[in-house]
Amino acid sequence: MKHLSILAALIAPVAALADPNPADWDVVLADAKGETVYWHAWGGSTTTNDFLAWVGSRVAEDYGVTLEHVKLTSTADAVTRVLFEKEAGENDDGAVDMIWINGANFAAMKEADLLFGPYAEQLPNWTVVDVDGKTVQTDFTVPTDGYESPWAMAQVVFVHDTADMPEKVGSMQALLEWAQANPGRFSYPQPPDFLGITFLKQVLVDILPDPSVLAAEATDENYADVTAPLWDYLDALTPNLWREGKAYPATGTAMFPLIADDELGLSISFSPGAASTAIANFELPDTVRTFVLDKGTIGNASFVTIPYNSGSKAGAMVVANFLMSPEAQARAQDPAILGYGTVLDMDAITADERVVFDALELGVATLSPAELGTVQAEPHPSWATRLADDWAGRYGVAE
């Protein structure tokens, strides 16, 4: 055995030796200086793009890290790239240094051993993260195990223009009734868009008597039965959707102009503060407000992850750590900037840091943490995959 371990140490990939150790933060900082980090992140939201650019300027200033935002139309693109690089033997300096990732893609990458880590829980700012109060250690029920670090909290909210829809609705059933009474005034992004699938899951979670079945992997046995009420629901909803469901908005933000133009009276968002931000940017009228369902809505954390073959792991960790800093978190929560929920524990940060958070005006359309109510758990990612495929077969190929 001893011989084997020596042998293993000798032939261990050079990359493993060169990988920075997150526990040795000073070395990480030294390594990071001068590195360029290609952060692959969805680029469809201009407010997010602006925030990422700001992060870039800050990490350049403080740590000498150059951050390049590679604007994706689909996160899957970055995953594919890493997968291909692995197959092609590019193990040391891949194109992707960091990915803004969601549950399904994270699960896929983790399973395929494409991630660097664990690193997240050794980052200096991990100590101020609200580990107990927020779902930062599981992603779509999959344990993160330190392979991704959180940087924002998201929760489903419904965005309504009070000029058209004065009262909130408390359940998905009530939402269906509203849509039937107001045809053409509601839509959701077309799956497989992230938010579109979230809408499907939200319906399912809300209309199932017992949604706990969703916490486990979907099986061939239970999938059809569990989801049958969802398809009934959508069959009833679709003819009453915007454009009678023959076209869908591409993304969540694409629905804002539709509300501004009075085409939609109701839509869905995964960012409790986005509506306020959009009002500040003249993208939404100031009559817009948000609400959540009586039983609560699905919530999760946004994570970043570092591919195993990044050539700038130290730089990526510095960026990931900066994202969890009170400075970045406060800026992200500012509805004039981004309006994302923080991942930090307000009791763990210093009083001075807390002042900044307390001073933030949440914005007219943003619910307070209390109003946001219960956060419902994300179903296991296997549900999302099947729902997306099924949806495309039923509604994505209109005849």
Partner 1 sequence: MKPRRLLHVLPAVTLLVMLGPVIAGLYGTVLPAFGHLPAAGLIGPTITPFTDLFDWAGLPRAVMLSLGVGMGATVIALTIVALLTAGWSGTRAFRFLERLLSPLLSVPHAAAAFGLAFLVTPSGWIARGLSPAITGWDRPPDLLIVQDPWGITMMVGLIVKEVPFLLLITLAALGQADTQRSAAVAQALGYGRLTGWLKTVFPRVYAQIRLPVYVVLAYSMSVVDVAVILGPNTPPSLSVYIVRLMLDPDIAMRLQGAAAALLQLGLVIAALIAWRLGEHVVGAFGRRWIATGARGKIDPIVEVSALVAGSAAAFAVLAGIIVLGVWSFAGFWSFPDFLPDQFMLRNWMRFGPGTLAALGETALIAIFVTIAALALTIGCLEAEYRHGLRLTQRGMFLLYLPLLVPQTAFLPGLQTLMLNIGLDVGRLPVMFTHLVFVLPYVFLSLADPFRAWDARMGTIAAALRASPDRVLWRVRMPMLLRPVLTAMAVGLSVSVGQYLATLLIGGGRVATLTTEAVALASGGDRRAIGVYGLMQTGAALIPFTLALIVPAIVWRNRKGLRHG
Q: Which residues bind partner 1 (CB under 8 A)?
A: 38, 40, 43-46, 49-50, 53, 68, 70-74, 76-81, 83-85, 87-90, 95, 105, 108, 183-184, 190, 242-244, 246-251, 253-258, 260-263, 281-283, 285, 392-393, 395-399
Q: How far is the CB of 111 from partner 1 (least distance, A)?
A: 12
- Could you tell me the smallest distance in angstroms from the CB atom of residue 284 to partner 1? 9
* Residue 66, both tokens: 């150059």
Residue 258 in tokens: 């539709």
Give alpha helix (H) positions in 19-74: 25-32, 46-63
Q: Residue 37: enclosing H or E segment and its boundaries?
A: strand 36-42
Rounded CA gap, 131 and 274, in Å? Answer: 24
Residues near 322 by Cβ (< 8 Å), separated by ≥ 6?
55, 58, 59, 62, 63, 125, 328
6: number of Cβ within 10 Å: 10
**Which CB, 257 or 369, lies closer to partner 1?**
257
Give me the least distance between CB of 302 and partner 1, in Å please.
17
Indicate the SS3 state at residue 218. coil
Cβ closest to partner 1, residue 90 vs residue 145 = 90
The residue among 88 and 370 lying less far from partner 1, judged by its C-beta, is 88
| Residue (196 or 326) nearer to partner 1, CB | 196
Q: Show the tokens assigned to 267.
A: 């839509």
Query: From the CB of 354, what's the least distance to partner 1, in Å?
Result: 29
Pairing of strands 36-42, 98-101: parallel
Q: Nearest distance from residue 287's CB to partner 1, in Å? A: 10
Q: Distance between CA 296 and CA 206 in Å, rounded?
A: 9
d(CA 310, CA 226) in angstroms, rounded, equals 40
Least distance to partner 1, CB of residue 260, Å: 6
Task: Give the nearer residue to partner 1 in terms of CB position, either 45 or 202.
Answer: 45
CB neighbour list of residue 351: distance below 8 Å, 6 or more residues apart: none
| 33 or 243: CB nearest partner 1 | 243
Question: Which one, 20 or 363, has the nearer CB to partner 1?
Answer: 363
DSSP codes, 370-390: HHH-PEEPPPPHHHHHHHHHH
Shortest CB 269 distance to partner 1, Å: 13
- The values of phi and psi at residue 212, to 5°, are -65, -20
